[in-house]
């Protein structure tokens, strides 16, 4: 049985593109050996831990796709390991399947309440474990792909638990944005975000779109949209109060560039049109862009011709409609 060494470069050696990573936690070598060999032969990348502390370290470092966790271990038992994994933002999303020789209902309920999504009873049957893993890995894989896709298109996401205000999960882009705009890191949720969330959760539950939260930082603006209630971290005996929030950063520069490309305007014409959309008069626009009001007027006349309109109101309306398509979170 291979027991990969724990080191800082471990995650870089894992073939995540072609293999799901499984962490097996058990203090009995025979159990580890049987499961390791079965999973290895099935194409999984397998890591092992023989006690609770090692399990927490490996999970935090490698972020496995799923954890097979022995319920009863000396020292820190599996229930405590699961509770700690679910309390950490970086590991809270990982599905946990308990392995237990205790079949009494109270123990099985305790396993689920600690954060497990499923359990298998000992003696372990590898085929049963593989079948149950596939079910939960598929769901976790779809969620992971959806979240990664959001980041790829510039839409960061976070999960916040309303009851205690903890930031339970975040994408890499979300981590970067929260640090830059608020100077906070998980599990701390920025206070303005938490206040906004708690104020509007009842509106979303009633299928009413709540107002978005915006924060400006120089020419850039970060917006938050309350997306949906999720149940990733809820036990079977309780209702989740975790909420998925979508974040998006917009800058004046990106909107101006989008208008320039969309309407075939010069950069300066697009900039003038942008400030018209924002309600500025020619004198104010001149002060902003460093031109005279007369020069701004000439730019605006060329904009009218390119847009096929005759008034600044019509130009602003057409520009706003296009901006809404390209940047739905834009606030004119």
Selection from 173, 181, 176, 180 nearest residue 156 by Cα:
173
Between the CA of residue 220 and those of 148, 174, 284, what are the distances in Å? 23, 15, 20
Instruction: Going residue by residue through the chain, which has 332 residues, state the pLDDT in tens, using 9 for 90 and above.
Output: 444 444 444 444 455 556 789 999 999 988 888 999 999 999 999 999 999 999 999 998 888 999 999 998 999 999 999 999 988 877 888 999 999 887 777 778 888 888 898 889 888 899 999 999 988 888 777 766 666 666 666 788 888 989 889 888 888 889 999 999 999 988 899 999 999 999 888 766 656 778 889 887 766 789 899 887 775 444 444 456 788 899 988 777 777 888 888 899 999 999 999 899 888 999 999 988 888 999 999 999 999 999 999 999 999 999 888 877 776 656 55
Domains of the chain (ranges; CATH) run 10-147 (3.40.50.2300), 153-251 (3.30.450.20), 264-326 (1.10.10.10)
Look up the pTM and report it. Answer: 0.51
Pairwise CA distance, residues 87 & 25, whole Å: 18
Q: In what order do the strands lie in the sheet with 118-121?
A: 45-49, 21-25, 66-70, 96-100, 118-121
């Amino acid at each position: 049985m291979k027991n990969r060494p724990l080191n800082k470069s471990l995650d870089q050696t894992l073939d995540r593109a072609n293999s799901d990573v499984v962490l097996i936690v058990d203090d009995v070598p025979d159990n580890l050996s049987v499961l390791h060999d079965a999973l290895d032969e099935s194409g999984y990348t397998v890591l092992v831990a023989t006690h609770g502390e090692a399990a927490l370290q490996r999970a935090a470092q490698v972020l496995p796709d799923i954890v097979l966790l022995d319920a009863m271990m000396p020292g820190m038992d599996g229930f405590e390991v699961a509770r700690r994994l679910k309390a950490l933002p970086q590991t809270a999303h990982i599905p946990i399947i308990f392995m237990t020789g205790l079949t009494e209902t109270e123990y099985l309920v305790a396993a689920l309440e600690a954060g497990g999504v499923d359990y298998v009873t000992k003696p372990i049957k590898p085929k049963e474990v593989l079948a149950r893993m596939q079910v939960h890995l598929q769901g976790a894989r779809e969620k992971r792909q959806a979240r990664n896709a959001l980041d790829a298109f510039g839409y960061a996401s976070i999960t916040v638990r309303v009851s205690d205000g903890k930031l339970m999960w975040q994408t890499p882009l979300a981590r970067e944005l929260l640090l830059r705009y608020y100077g906070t890191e998980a599990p701390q949720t920025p206070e303005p975000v938490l206040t906004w969330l708690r104020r509007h959760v009842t509106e979303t539950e009633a299928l009413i779109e709540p107002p978005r939260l915006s924060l400006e930082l120089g020419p850039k603006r970060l917006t938050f949209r309350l997306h949906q209630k999720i149940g990733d971290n809820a036990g079977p005996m309780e209702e989740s109060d975790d909420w998925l929030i979508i974040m998006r950063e917009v800058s004046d520069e990106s909107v101006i560039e989008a208008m320039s490309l969309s309407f075939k305007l010069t950069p300066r014409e697009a900039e003038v049109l942008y400030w018209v959309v924002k309600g500025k008069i020619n004198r104010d626009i001149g002060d902003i862009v460093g031109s005279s009001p007369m020069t701004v007027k000439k730019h605006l006349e060329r904009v009218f011709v390119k847009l096929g309109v005759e008034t600044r109101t019509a130009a602003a309306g057409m520009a706003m409609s296009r901006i809404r398509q390209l940047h739905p979170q834009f606030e004119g």
